[in-house]
Amino acid sequence: MLTSASNLLTSGFSPKTDELVLIRIKLINIINILTAFFSMIFFFYNFLNNRIIFSVVDFLTAFIMICNIVLLRVHKKPTVSAFITCIIFFILSVYLLFIGGAEQFGYLWSFFLPIAVIFLIGLKGGIVVIIVFYVTAAVTIMLPVIPFRLVEYSSAVKINFLLVLGLISIVAIYYEYSREKPYKKLMLHEHWFRAVIENSASVYAVIDIEGKVLYESPSLVHVYGYKPEELIGKNIIDLVHPEDIPSALEELKNLIKNPGKVKRLEIRYRHKDGTWRDIDVVGINLLEDEAVKGIVLTSHDISERKEAEREVSILNETLETRILQRTEELRVSEEKLQHSEKMRAIGELAGGIAHDFNNQLAGIIGCADLLKSNLAMDTELYVCAETIVNVAKNAGKLTAQLLAFARKGSYHRIPVNFHNLINEVIVLLERSIDKRIVIKKQLSASSSVVVGDRDQFESMLLNIALNARDAIQETGIITFSTEIVDYETAHPGEVKPEDSTGTCLKITISDNGSGMDKETQKHIFEPFFTTKSRGKGIGMGLAAVYGTVQSHNGAIEIESSPGHGTSFSLYFPLEDYINEETHMKKPQLTMKRGNARILFIDDDEFVVRMVELVLKKLGYSITCFQNSSEGIEWFRNAYHQTDIIFLDMVMPGQPTAEVFEELMSIHPEAIIILTSGYSINKAVEILLEKGARGFLKKPFEIAELTGIIADSLAGGDN
C-alpha cells in the first residue's frame, strides 16, 4: 500500500528521472498535502471561533499548496514547486512565531524548516533560506515591541528556541554537505558514463533469453537510425539478415549455455533506411547478474571496413591477374629474347661458315676459269671445267642465302617498288607452279617504295611463295596483299625494327594450306630447318627471308595453325621515292690480260695461290701476303712499284680499317680494292667513303677480277 502511494506521488515522471529528484518530488507533495490538510483544519477552527483574518490566511495557504501540487503534476518542474513550497513554509513559520508558536507546537514546525529547505532546494539555496529565517525569527522573538505580534516571549524561550533552531540548522547543513559531496561525484561519474554511452560509435543493448530488447543505448539513433524506444520489447533477430539468422541464433544459444563467456560474431543488420550494414557484435551472458539480468551486446558498424576489405580483395585479384599477365608477358619476351639471341648466334656461325666457304669457292672458280681459258671449247675437259664453275656458282647461291640470314650487309640499296616486284614474282610463279593453285593479289598500299636490295627482296617473296605452294595439297589459294600501317599500332610480333616509329609498308603473303603448329613456328627461320622430305628442300629459304627482313630494318610475323593455312606479314619502312631504280642485268665479262703491279693481301692460302697463279698467267705482276703487317712493310718500301692493292676485309690480328689507314698514310693516292666473303656491310661502306676504289665479293670469276683491275686503272669506282 505504501509502495502504491509512493508511486502515485511520482506518477507521470520519466523512469529515467534521477532518484534524488524523485525523493524531492515525493517530499514536495507530502509537505503540500499536509500543509493544505492542516491549513483547512485551522481554517474551520478559526472560522468557528470568529477569527476571520486567521481563517483567511489558513484558506489561502491551503489553496496555494493545492495549486502547487497541480502545477508540479502538469508542468513537471520540481524546482519551481520546491521553491514555492519553501516560501510558503517560510511564511507559515514566521506567521506562527507572530501568533506565539515559539511557546506552543509552532516551534516544531519552525525546527523542521531547515531540514525541509536544505533537502528541497539544495545546500546553497537552503543555507540562504535558513540564514534569512534565523535572522527573521531572532528579530521576531527578541525585539521587545513588534507590530502584529500577539505574545511576548520570555528570555528562556527566546534563548532555547534560537539555540535549538541554530543547532538543527547546523546539523542539516552538515548532513547535506556530507551527503551532497559523494552524490555530486557519483552524478559526475554518471554524467560521464552517460555521455560516453550516448556519443559512442558503438551501440550497447541488453536482451533477454528470448532475444527481446530490454535496453538500447542512445547512440543507436546515430549508428542504425532507430530511436531506443522503437526497439524496446522487439526481438533483435527480426533485424538480422535472413542469411545470417542461423549463425546469430547459434551464437545466442552458446551465450545462454555459457554464462560469463564472451562471444563475437559478424552479421548484417538492417538500418532504418532499409540498407544492410555489416556489424561486429560482442556478447556476454549476464543473466545471473542481479543488476543486469540479461545478455549484454556491444555492436559497431563495420560496413566501411568491409567495403574497404572488398575493394582490397578486388585490387588484390586485379593485381594478381596483372602479375600473371606481366609474368606471361615477361616469359614471352624472354622466349623472344632467347630466340633472338639464338638466331644471332646461329647467324654469326652461318656467316662465318659462308665467308670461309666463299674463300674456297673463289679458289675453285678461279682455277676452273684458268682451265677453261687453256682448253678448246669442244673438248671434254672444257665441259668438265665449265661444270666445276657452274656447280661452284650454285654453291655460292647457298652461301648467299646464309649471308642473307646472317645479315652481313645488303648488296645494292636502291628504291624498290614492291607492287611492281610482286607483279613480276606472280608472273614467275604462274609459269612454274601447279595450275590448280590460284594466285590472288590485293595491292591496297598507296605507296610501296622501299629502299633495299632488289634481288634479296625478290628472293624473299619467292621463298615465301614457294613454301606456300609446298603447303597446299593439290588445290588452293596464295594471296599477296599490301597496306600502309603504323609501327605503333601494327606491333610486329617477331622483332620490332629499331628506330622505326613512322608509317611502314605491310606485305602479307597467305595461303590456305596445311599450316603449322606452334613448335614448328619456333624453328622455321633457323638455317637448315625443314619439314619437307629429303631432296625437296634444305631449309635455307625462310632463314634467308629472316636475314633479309632484319638487314633492311624490317620486321616479320607469322600466323598459322594446323589445317588453317599460314600468313606471313612483312613490315618495311617507307621511303619518299617516286621512281624506282631500273633493274639492270650485269654485262657479260671476259678475262683481260694486263701488266699491272698488284699487291694482294688475304689470309686464305687457297685464294692467294689461285689469284697469284691466274694473274701471273694473264701477264700481271703480283705480290701476295697472308699477313697484313708484312704487306704494310712491303708496301712502305715499294709503294712506287704498286698499281693496285687488294685487301681482304677479314684478316687476323690488326683490324682491316687500321690496315687501310696505314696503307693510305704511306701513299694517299693508292688504289685499294676491298674483298670479302661477306656482302657489302657498314664497315665496307665506311672504307669506300674514305677512299677505297671498289669492292669485290667472293667467290668471284677471273673475268670479274680482271675487270675491276682494268676499271680501277682506268679511273672508275667499283
Angle value at C-alpha 38, between 85 and 83, nearest 5 degrees: 0
Rounded distance, CA 295 to CA 286, Å?
A: 5
Q: Is 193 helix (H, G, I), strand (E, B) or coil?
A: helix
Q: How far is CA 666 from CA 126, 152, 638, 640, 661, in A?
A: 131, 158, 10, 10, 9
Phi, psi values for residue 261, rounded to 5°: -80, 145
Contact assessment for residue 213 and residue 207, using Cβ atoms and an 8 Å cutoff: yes
Contact assessment for residue 267 and residue 303, using Cβ atoms and an 8 Å cutoff: no
Mind listing the pLDDT tens digit for each residue in 330-354? 777 776 666 666 556 555 555 666 6
What was the pLDDT predicted at 396? 63
pLDDT above 50: residue 495? no
Which residue type occupies 361?
L
Phi, psi values for residue 483, rounded to 5°: -160, 160
Which residue type occupies 407?
R
Rounded distance, CA 468 to CA 475, Å?
A: 12
What was the pLDDT predicted at 674? 92
Confidence of residue 509 (pLDDT cuts 50, 70, 90): very high
Highest mean pLDDT among 5-9, 161-165, 322-326, 596-600: 596-600
Q: Which of 168-177, 235-244, 580-589 has the lowest mean pLDDT?
A: 580-589
Which residue type occupies 647?
L
Q: Is 222 helix (H, G, I), strand (E, B) or coil?
A: helix
What was the pLDDT predicted at 585? 46
Angle, nearest 10°, between helix axes 106-142 and 19-48?
A: 80
Highest mean pLDDT among 75-89, 558-572, 679-693: 558-572
Calculate mean pLDDT across residues 292-316: 86
What was the pLDDT predicted at 419? 92
pLDDT above 80: residue 506? yes
Q: Is 354 helix (H, G, I), strand (E, B) or coil?
A: helix
Rounded distance, CA 104 to CA 559, Å?
A: 127
What was the pLDDT predicted at 598? 92
Q: Is 553 helix (H, G, I), strand (E, B) or coil?
A: coil
Q: Is 52 helix (H, G, I), strand (E, B) or coil?
A: helix
Pairing of strands 262-270, 437-443: unpaired
Alpha helices, DSSP H only, in 224-295? 228-231, 245-257
Read off the DSSP letter of residue 716. -
pLDDT above 80: residue 409? no
Contact assessment for residue 381 and residue 717, using Cβ atoms and an 8 Å cutoff: no
What was the pLDDT predicted at 491? 55
Contact assessment for residue 3 and residue 21, using Cβ atoms and an 8 Å cutoff: no
What was the pLDDT predicted at 107? 60
Alpha helices, DSSP H only, in 143-240? 155-199, 220-223, 228-231
Q: What is the CA radius of gyration of the chain?
A: 60
Q: What is the mean pLDDT of the chain?
A: 78
Rounded distance, CA 627 to CA 656, Å?
A: 11
DSSP of 637-658: HHGGG-SEEEEES--SSS-HHH
Share of the chain above pLDDT 90, in %: 11
Q: How far is CA 75 from CA 12, 67, 417, 577, in A?
A: 10, 12, 107, 105
What was the pLDDT predicted at 43? 80
Q: How far is CA 84 from CA 66, 71, 328, 527, in A?
A: 11, 10, 90, 118
What was the pLDDT predicted at 304? 85
Which residue type occupies 64?
I
H or E stretch covering 206: strand 202-207
Angle value at C-alpha 169, between 167 and 173, nearest 5 degrees: 120
Phi, psi values for residue 437, rounded to 5°: -95, 120
The most distant pair of C-alpha atoms in the chain lies apart, rounded to whole Å, by: 186
Q: Is 143 helix (H, G, I), strand (E, B) or coil?
A: coil
Mind listing the pLDDT tens digit for each residue in 131-183? 888 888 788 777 776 666 667 777 777 787 788 888 888 888 888 777 767 76
Confidence of residue 456 (pLDDT cuts 50, 70, 90): confident
What was the pLDDT predicted at 395? 64
Q: Is 333 helix (H, G, I), strand (E, B) or coil?
A: helix
Phi, psi values for residue 434, rounded to 5°: -60, 135
Question: Residue 509's closest CA among 465, 447, 542, 544?
Answer: 465
Rounded distance, CA 118 to CA 320, Å?
A: 76
Question: Residue 295's closest CA among 286, 308, 303?
Answer: 286
Mind listing the pLDDT tens digit for each residue in 24-65? 677 777 877 877 787 788 788 778 887 777 788 778 878 887
Q: Is 414 helix (H, G, I), strand (E, B) or coil?
A: strand
DSSP strands (E only) in 465-565: 476-486, 503-511, 555-560
Mind listing the pLDDT tens digit for each residue in 520-574? 777 777 766 666 655 455 556 777 788 888 878 888 888 988 888 899 999 988 8
Mind listing the pLDDT tens digit for each residue in 261-283? 888 888 899 999 989 988 888 88
Residues in the chain: 718
Contact assessment for residue 151 and residue 140, using Cβ atoms and an 8 Å cutoff: no
Rounded distance, CA 141 to CA 144, Å?
A: 8
Share of the chain above pLDDT 70, in %: 74
pLDDT above 50: residue 114? yes
What was the pLDDT predicted at 412? 65
Mind listing the pLDDT tens digit for each residue in 462-471? 888 888 888 8
Upper half-sphere CA count for residue 80 (Cβ side, 13 Å): 11
